[in-house]
Amino acid sequence: AKEEEVPLSVANRRMSRQIMVGSVPVGGKAPVSVQSMTTTLTSDVDATLQQIAELTAAGCQIVRVAVPSADDAAALPIIAKKSQLPVIADIHFQPKYVFAAIDAGCAAVRVNPGNIKKFDDKVGDIAKAAADAGIPIRIGVNAGSLDKRLLEKYGKATPDALVESALWECSLFEEHGFGDIKISVKHNDPVVMIEAYRRLAARCDYPLHLGVTEAGPQFQGTIKSAVAFGALLAEGIGDTIRVSLSCPPVEEVKVGNQILESLALRERGLDIVSCPSCGRAQVDVHTLSERVSAALEGFPVPLRVAVMGCVVNGPGEAREADLGVASGNGKGQIFVKGEVIKTVPESEIVEALLEEAVRIAEERGIA
């Protein structure tokens, strides 16, 4: 039978204008990018560059660094120069750091409209400096620092308050002919955040940076971000994402990439499809799937690997996988596309899968 077309794809994305964050296009038909933020003191250049290297290795595409002090601003030139990723300077209060970041060669600057009063008379100068340098500005609205005027008008950080704040700040830059902008309207409640982005998406064509702010510890934050980003991206909304977690930023990148892979917005890398296990299981599926994940982490070929708990149903249930194992009786049946190719002792399962994965990679001309 003819395969039904899957509706979710890049083709269904909201068409936003495209901006460039360094070498990374954001918006338009560009793939959704993953970004994160360093947790080091920006003024500690070595530690910051080290963390950026770790983020790069984890698949991060854009990195943001906080610039709360003059020492941090002073560190920007060398960080911008040596970073493998485009660097966005995150600036809340001090317009002079915006100019410093632009001079330092940062790929973009993020400003927060809640603090715009301090920028007010400087918007024209900032727009000109950014335009001259050819870099975009992110308008980063945050529920926690919403403009007082809007808080009074709406009572709290509602979706409309967030949207109004963002569009108002955009208009300040637009007045100076500057439209090289991306926007975020972050809230810690995914329900409010989703609605804010939906309304914002309908009212402008700026690329959107998705984020749930203060999403929380790893487990809760991962779920909140996956749910919120998933809902929006499935509607075609969102051009770049940052998962905020209270844990090392590399974890944010892993979650971000996994969200995009889950929605097929990015080529799937390693996809472990382990069975949930049941009364028929003859092996500890949980431990085995973790060992297989660890052994294949970073494998250069997209691969779907099944780890199944029993030989009766395993190979059949995992027919769609590139390869897999079904365990029983202290042994593992290694199968490729649902066909059992060999049986190995349980202690050799991981090794056998790895061997088979390398063979598949060679077949595809990659390893």
Residue list, annotated binding site for [4Fe-4S] cluster? 275, 278, 310, 317
Q: Which of 165, 162, 214 is nearest to 192 (CA)?
A: 162
Minimum CB–partner distance for residue 97 and ligand SF4 (Å): 55
Contact between 343 and ligand SF4 by CB under 6 A: the answer reads no
Any contact of residue 315 with ligand SF4 (CB under 6 A)? no
Q: Which stretch binds ligand SF4 (CB under 6 A): 214-222, 241-249, 290-298, 313-321?
A: 313-321
Residue 302 has which token pair?
Answer: 């997209």
Distance of CA 6 to the CA centre of its chain: 23
**Segment interacting with ligand SF4 (CB under 6 A) among 112-120, 290-298, 310-318, 349-357:** 310-318
Which of 24, 85, 167, 281 is in the footprint of ligand SF4 by CB under 6 A? 281
Residue closer to ligand SF4, measured from CB, 102 or 305: 305
* Residue 333 C-beta: closest distance to ligand SF4, Å: 11
Q: Strand pairing of 24-26 and 87-91?
A: unpaired
Nearer to ligand SF4, 212 or 308 (CB): 308
Using CB under 6 A, which of 313, 338, 344, 354 touches ligand SF4? 313
Candidate list 317, 325, 349, 357; residue touching ligand SF4; CB under 6 A: 317
275 contacts ligand SF4 (rule: CB under 6 A): yes
User: Looking at this protein, which amino acid is placed at residue 92?
Assistant: H
Detail the residues annotated as belonging to a binding site. Answer: 275, 278, 310, 317
Measured from the Cβ of residue 156, the count of other Cβ atoms closer than 10 Å reads 10
Cα separation, 237 vs 232, whole angstroms? 5
Stretch that binds ligand SF4, among 106-114, 173-181, 257-265, 271-279 (CB under 6 A): 271-279
The distance of closest approach from Cβ of residue 275 to ligand SF4 in the complex, given in angstroms and rounded to an integer, is 3
**Which residues lie closer than 8 Å to 62 by C-beta, 6 or more apart?**
21, 22, 24, 26, 33, 34, 35, 85, 86, 88, 107, 240
Determine if 359 is a binding residue for ligand SF4 (CB under 6 A): no
Q: Are 242 and 213 spatial neighbours (Cβ–Cβ below 8 Å)?
A: no
* Residue 314 in the binding site for ligand SF4 (CB under 6 A): yes
Residue 278 contacts ligand SF4 per CB under 6 A? yes
For the residues of 277-322, what is the DSSP string, one character each? --TT--S-HHHHHHHHHHHHTT-SS-EEEEEES-TTTHHHHTTTSS
Q: Which of 114, 309, 324, 332 binds ligand SF4 (CB under 6 A)?
A: 309
Residue 277 found at the interface with ligand SF4 (CB under 6 A): yes
Question: What b/e string do you get for 76-105 counting C-beta neighbours within 10 Å, with b at 16 or more?
Answer: bbebbeebebbbbbbbbebbebbbbbbebb
Q: Is 192 helix (H, G, I), strand (E, B) or coil?
A: helix
Residue 310 touches ligand SF4, criterion: CB under 6 A: yes
Judged by CB under 6 A, the number of residues near ligand SF4 is 12
Contact predicate 64/97, CB 8 Å: no
CB closer to ligand SF4, 73 vs 275: 275
Instruction: In whole angstroms, give the CA distance from residue 43 to residue 77.
Output: 11
Of 169 and 317, CB closest to ligand SF4:
317
Per DSSP, helices labelled H in the chain are: 45-58, 70-82, 95-104, 123-133, 148-154, 159-174, 190-203, 218-234, 249-262, 285-296, 314-317, 349-363
Please state the closest distance from residue 282 (CB atom) to ligand SF4, in A. Answer: 8
Let me know: does 44 contact 69? Beta carbons within 8 Å: no
Give the shortest CB-335-to-ligand SF4 separation in angstroms: 12
Q: Given the complex with ligand SF4, which of 310 and 357 has the nearer CB atom?
A: 310
Contact residues for ligand SF4 (CB under 6 A)? 275-278, 280-281, 308-310, 313-314, 317
